[in-house]
């Protein structure tokens, strides 16, 4: 497995440094206690939680690993967010009536364009973004609305 590149970040990456040794699935499973229907918080280095330097993050999502691993793709998706915020309003997508269906329709339209061999949305009314980035953005918007609906 090729290690991820080290990316400068304004704060330390702590125990989730990209230089950390990768955990196998078995090692990761050992850190998780499913007997109580959830995760038992533990320090990944075995420190007692009341000890100096302990941090209860074993078994938690490795968000930095995700962001560093997909930094270029996420940058392209963020361009879609910026263009949409400038064209409409920041986070205005949340209030679009029937948003889930409409964002899935937009996802499908971009998928059709990609399927026809068009990589960029650079037509007369296009954004100049990758169709894949717009597909991802629309799928994220629909999924976020679904999750918010399920939480209420």
Q: Which residues contact 79 (CB under 8 A, 6 or more apart)?
A: 129, 133
Residues 88, 99 contacting (CB under 8 angstroms): no
Mean pLDDT of 27-51: 65
Amino acid 38: pLDDT: 54
Terminal Cα distance for the chain, rounded:
41
Q: Has residue 1 got a pLDDT over 70?
A: no
Amino acid 3: pLDDT: 54
Tokens read off for 113: 């364009």
| pLDDT tens track for 69-102 | 999 999 999 999 999 999 999 999 999 999 999 9
């Amino acid at each position: 497995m090729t290690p991820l590149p080290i990316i400068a970040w304004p704060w330390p990456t702590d125990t989730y440094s990209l230089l950390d040794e990768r955990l196998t699935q078995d090692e990761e499973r050992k850190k998780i206690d499913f007997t109580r229907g959830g995760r038992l918080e533990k320090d990944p280095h075995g420190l007692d939680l009341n000890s100096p330097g302990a941090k209860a993050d074993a078994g938690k999502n490795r968000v930095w690993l995700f962001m560093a691993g997909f930094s270029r793709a996420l940058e392209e998706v963020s361009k879609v967010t910026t263009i949409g915020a400038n064209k409409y309003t920041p986070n205005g997508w949340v209030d679009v009536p029937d948003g889930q269906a409409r964002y899935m329709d937009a996802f499908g339209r971009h998928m059709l364009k990609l399927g026809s061999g068009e990589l960029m949305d650079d037509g007369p009314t296009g954004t100049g973004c990758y169709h894949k980035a717009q597909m991802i953005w629309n799928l994220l918007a629909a999924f976020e609305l679904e999750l918010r609906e399920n939480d209420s």
